Amino acid sequence: MTIIVLDGYTLNPGDLSWDELKALGPCEIHERVAPDEIVRYAGRGEIVLTNKARLSGDHLRQLPRLKYIGVLATGTNIVDLIAARELGIPVTNVPAYSTRSVAQTAMSLLLELTHNVGHHSRTVHEGRWTQCRDFAYWDRPLIELDGLTMGIIGYGQTGRAMGEVAAALGMRLLVCNPSPRTLPPPARQVDLETLLRESDVVSLHCPLTPETTNLVNAERLGWMKPTAFLLNTSRGPLVDEPALAEALNSGRLAGAGVDVLSAEPPPAGNPLLTAKNCFITPHFAWATRAARVRLMQTAVANIRAFLGGKPQNVVNGWEEGGVKTLKR
């Protein structure tokens, strides 16, 4: 079967190898494919891999050769899973490959908010320390995390990893999870309103669904402490961005750190780009080399399992049984 990679550049900008994938069959690896070119390129193969190139139901119905879709990520909202299932096409993802990297990025955003390391380093290089009358200076509050409360919304693998890091820094943990569970100390399960009202830091680690879109809106931002910080390393549309910008600019929220936005790349008019005390990184939490190596290895293993008749990491309810059960 021919393998088509629609947008391979972010996974492998040149520091990894495609050799294991190529060993599975003929490959076409494209760095990027424009939306209006998806059908033309995807139509050349039976196996299609995509990271952010969207495969709608309309696309899928125009791809009679397609037998398998592999999402080069954990989130699968870029594929019409229902249409794929109806057409007998299994869709797989790569779970948990970036768990530690995402937690590390979320914590780095929090540490920047609490210590403003980048700002103070810039002022030193600009000569301020050289000219200082004292041995030390700081011009923004320095906040100790020990004893503060971290609220984690979504307590899957990444949420738990974030909780471990926060607990190691002495933070108390509140958790809001769609499926309530018994949590080991120091975590405590609470409802969403309690979490937002009591937390000093709120970190989002939940998937994007119709129910979680604009999960953090103007009303819920109003529940948070004015001294609190919001972190989002999950999906941009979890947050009502104009409402967050207004909360930051008016001082109703102390700061935010986000690695994701509602549209990526963001338009110049995105209100968070000019909001006060808002640190934004370019959706790179997943992209450490170690995480991308795991992503590549699992994506290849997923295809190998499919070709062997026992697909793994299937996310659209397609029954196991392999190629023989396909409708096409």
Residues carrying an active site annotation: 235, 264, 283
Assign 3-class secondary structure to the chain: CCEEECCCCCCCCCCCCCHHHHCCCCEEECCCCCHHHHHHHHCCCCEEEECCCCECHHHHHCCCCCCEEEECCCCCCCECHHHHHHCCCCEECCCCCCHHHHHHHHHHHHHHHHHCHHHHHHHHHCCCCCCCCCCCCCCCCCCCCCCCEEEEECCCHHHHHHHHHHHHCCCEEEEECCCCCCCCCCEEECCHHHHHHHCCEEEECCCCCCCCCCCECHHHHHHCCCCCEEEECCCHHHECHHHHHHHHHHCCCCEEEECCCCCCCCCCCCHHHHCCCEEECCCCCCCCHHHHHHHHHHHHHHHHHHHCCCCCCECCCCCCCHHHHCCC
